[in-house]
Amino acid sequence: MAVCHWLSIFLVGFAVLVLRSNSKGVCPNNWVHMQGSCYKYFSKAVNWNAAKSACETLGSKLLVINSQAEQQAIPSKFPDAQKTWIGLYRDPKDKSRWLWVDGTRPTYTYWYPREPNNHGGNEDCVEMVTGRKWNDMPCSFSLTYICETAASSCQKLSLRGGVHVSPSNCLSSNQKYGSTCSFSCTRGYRLSGPSSTKCGRGGAWSAKVNTVICNAPGVDVQCNSDNMTIIIPKSLLRGIDREHLRLLDTTCKAKETSALFSLTTSLTGCSTTRRHTPTAIVYSNTVLEIAVTPKDVVTRVREIEIPFSCFYSSSGEVSSVGLKPSNRKLVFSDEGKGNFTLSLNMFPDKRFVSPYMNDDFPVAVVLRKLLFFEVSVTSGDKQLSIKADRCYATPTQDQKNSLKYEFITKGCPSDETVKYLSTPSVSTQRFSLEAFKFIAKHPFVFVHCHVIVCNATDPGSKCAKKCPSSGRGRREASDHVTGDVYSLAQGPLHLAREEKRGNVLDKSGSSPTLLMALFVMCVACLAGTALMVFKKSRDKPAGYAVLASGDPK
């Protein structure tokens, strides 16, 4: 495996790409910038409709002239444009009226004397001729043409973590129209999320990139009541010696075994930082590589940077440990379906406008209040549909935890509060359910969904099957897919301590003791954070049944 260049672990489970604003206009290659717009002259003579279509194919429009300044600037920039189409045409509904190709009426004109004259009754398009004045012409004539588009740039990307970005200036400067930024991981790691994004018209990136993950199994973070430890397999840091690893405090060095590096810090030592959320206290530190001194014979062109965090509940007792799970998965060329991205998101209300983001977790919930979830598949193939085949909650991130509460079984509700909601397309499925008592017995709860992806045009697909009205979760065993099931997870959720009347939560005069409750959220490697699996044995709380796992991939 190649030497790691940037190794990163981030508490939310993924590296977030932030778009930074910059008002400076940028034109595509070989286009001319003037007064906030970009122009390009094409010497090939075509009819007016062909010229209009050619410009639209480029994400632009046939030349629209809105001012005298623009009219005077065109000849100086394009001296070869002697007889050229512009984007003005006669309104087919009212032959006395002219329209630009963008649908607006002209506020500025520059006609030749006695023009437009509609000679022959079919001069419905406009040319700019020698002298740069305008003349109406039959649209079937072949002339050169000029395309115009708004000057814009796609805002530079800011990558939090260690994903490799090519070209590197995608991170340092705005990108021109048509530019592509690609993402990759060091050999041995797998990229989850879009592999590239392209700068399109209007300064918009082709992919709405907000997460990029490089998965690297084996890194664990252990959170204890007074310290935290990160454990890194040596196979991920080939060529690195123990003496070269430290925390933010240079005196906090690594220990090693034959296969692992480990670094431990107290919650208040080694320059560990502390952050408070409404329901948790977050302690963070970073593994760094000690700089090579000039006297060293061997140097390495790389830098190790591994952020890690522990979350401690600010109320309630702690009885479990878990990692922040990944709610996204990229599937490559699955049975001819092509590449597609699966997501599981949680929303604060039934409008499904903005999902909970990284910093919102752990999300505080109240018993019997509705929780809103959405599973989705994103692909160039718009005929893919998705269905939650099995959903359940566990007290840790580990989906194989034997203690679980299942609320969707074989594609049908097994909890009476589950309600399926309308969706904008077949590529999404939405449902709600009431916050269940399982959450009340555990400081943190994770929700897992195993989803299936189908051909939306196939009425016999697994996604198209309906639940029987006579019962819940009673599909035949043959309907339970194994080969096409993908696991997603979201969380953690945390019970909000809410004052209630009656017996539910009785107010007392004493304030609860602040107990540190532990769990880890995210471990991600190289180029932006990734899901790591951390297991910890625990006793089964009284009152809950142990269910069989049988989890698909």
pLDDT digits (tens, 9 = 90+) for 371-409: 999 998 887 677 788 899 999 988 776 677 778 889 999
- DSSP assignments along 86-148, one per residue: EEEEE-TT-TT-EEETTSPPPS---BPTT----GGG---EEEE-TTS-EEEE-TTS-EEEEEE
- Give the number of other CB atoms < 10 A from CB of residue 69: 11
Note the pTM of the prediction, 2 decimals.
Answer: 0.41
pLDDT digits (tens, 9 = 90+) for 291-349: 655 444 333 334 577 777 777 765 433 322 333 444 555 454 333 444 577 888 899 99
Which residues, including other chains, have CB under 8 Å from residue 480's CB and lie 6 or more apart?
389, 410
pLDDT of residue 173: 80
When the pLDDT of each residue in the chain is averaged and rounded to a whole number, the result is 72
Cβ-based burial of 88 (10 A; exposed 0-12, middle 13-18, buried ≥19):
buried
pLDDT digits (tens, 9 = 90+) for 108-117: 999 999 999 9
pLDDT of residue 98: 94
Three-state DSSP state, 181? strand
| Cα–Cα separations (whole angstroms), residue 546 to 155, 239, 254, 418, 553 | 51, 45, 39, 22, 20
**More confident call, 450 vs 379:** 450
Q: How do beta strands 227-233 and 220-223 pair?
A: antiparallel
